[in-house]
Amino acid sequence: MTDTKRLLAVLKGERRERPPIWLMRQAGRYLPEYRELRAQKGGFLALATDPVAAAEVTLQPINRFGFDGAILFSDILMVPWALGQDLSFGAGEGPRLEPALVDTTLASLERVTARLEPVYATVRGVAAALSPETTFLGFAGSPWTVATYMVAGHGSRDQGETRRFAYNDRQAFAAIIDAITELTVEYLAKQIENGVEAVQLFDSWAGSLSPAQFERWVIAPNAAIVAKLKARCPQAVIIGFPKGAGGKLPAYARETGVDALGLDETVDPEWANTVVPEGMPVQGNLDPLALIAGGEALDGAIDRVLAAFRDRPHVFNLGHGIDQHTPIAHVERLLARVRGA
């Protein structure tokens, strides 16, 4: 099966002359067909919890571009929603979780795990529709990043409120991390059981932590997820994406047990190639703004990434999610260059 699924083969350690490609947030606002469907549904959460519509969104970039991987259309905050917080997406405001755990306790929340059922239904719908050569990727937020939203109730630039909470009440914060970890294992296992072939753990705010805190709140819970998920689903293939980890990347790669390592755009790919364990698949790490710039700037950035990872298993991707203002013609140019067309 992996012989025809180029992306899955590389994530399992094969090197290909031309790397497979998918893009984080490839199903989203830069596509007119996505904007049209979201407008019909009236909002993000209504779209994400409609299995038919969410499956359509997941497939839109595959139908348009033929990426090697389809990434499930959902959100990292589905887990706190299932843990009992109310989730909303205000126009221009970003996501909100209520009540924020800085103001209440985890024990006061009542779990509603049925809120995850539409996601599993979406997975089944996409799995039934995907072509045999396309790898189906699921995902979840990593515990630290999810906890930053649960504690503060919203996103922030430096996650200061959550970092202070973790220092001031380590026991309470550990309980939050443990609850996220436990449900994330269940959530990812059910994605796999319903048709997903590989999963990615997004730690979007990993870069805000000191080395000791990174070890405790990023490496340790991600290692727990990997170990428990592989015990339940031995076939699980897991990509870890600790955005902003920088010099802590080698420790993350060695200690979490992930199968592949996602690199953000701030990482020097040549440096990463020397410090990441030999033979470990890497994913990334084109700057999303280079994709917006296009032209020679884009071509040069693509070539630098390709050259850095030419001798190891490599999945071409961005260093973070595709920006909503990205021209579709630039995505087409990216695909042609990576594929050697």
Q: Among 15, 50, 64, 75, which one carries the catalytic annotation?
A: 75
Q: Are 250 and 200 in contact (CB under 8 A)?
A: no
CA torsion sign, 284 to 288 to 294 to 296?
negative
Residue 118, pLDDT > 70, answer: yes
Q: Are 198 and 188 in contact (CB under 8 A)?
A: no
Q: Among 6, 30, 34, 38, which one carries the catalytic annotation?
A: 38
pTM across the whole model: 0.97
Residue 1, pLDDT > 70, answer: no
**Confidence band for 297, pLDDT divided at 50, 70 and 90:** very high
**Nearest one of 153, 148, 319, 160 to 242, comparing CA atoms:** 319
Residue-wise pLDDT for 257-286, tens only, equals 999 999 999 999 999 999 999 999 999 999
Q: To the nearest whole percent, how much of the chain has pLDDT over 90?
A: 96
Mean pLDDT, the chain, whole residue set: 96
Which domains, ranges and CATH numbers included, belong to the chain?
6-338 (3.20.20.210)
- Tell me the residue ranges of DSSP E strands in 13-103: 69-71, 86-90, 94-98
Q: Strand pairing partners for 141? A: 202
Lowest-confidence pick of 36-50, 86-100, 177-191, 296-310: 86-100
If you ran DSSP here, which 8-state letter would residue 202 be given?
Answer: E
Cis status, amide bond into 118, omega within 30 of 0: no
Q: C-alpha distances in angstroms, 154 versus 73, 151, 195, 217?
A: 21, 8, 31, 19
Q: Among 15, 16, 29, 337, which one carries the catalytic annotation?
A: 29
d(CA 159, CA 145): 9
Q: Are 265 and 288 in contact (CB under 8 A)?
A: yes
Q: What pLDDT is recorded for position 341?
A: 60
DSSP per residue over 113-182, as a string? GGGGHHHHHHHHHHHHHS-TTSEEEEEEE-HHHHHHHHHHSS--SS-HHHHHHHHH-HHHHHHHHHHHHH
103 classed as catalytic: no
339 classed as catalytic: no
**Strands 198-203 and 135-141, how do they pair?**
parallel
Residue 219, pLDDT > 50, answer: yes
- Tell me the three state secondary structure of residue 240: strand
Q: Among 6, 30, 34, 149, which one carries the catalytic annotation?
A: 149
Cis status, amide bond into 285, omega within 30 of 0: yes
75 classed as catalytic: yes
Residue-wise pLDDT for 203-213, tens only, equals 999 999 999 99
Residue-wise pLDDT for 140-167, tens only, equals 999 999 999 999 999 988 999 999 999 9
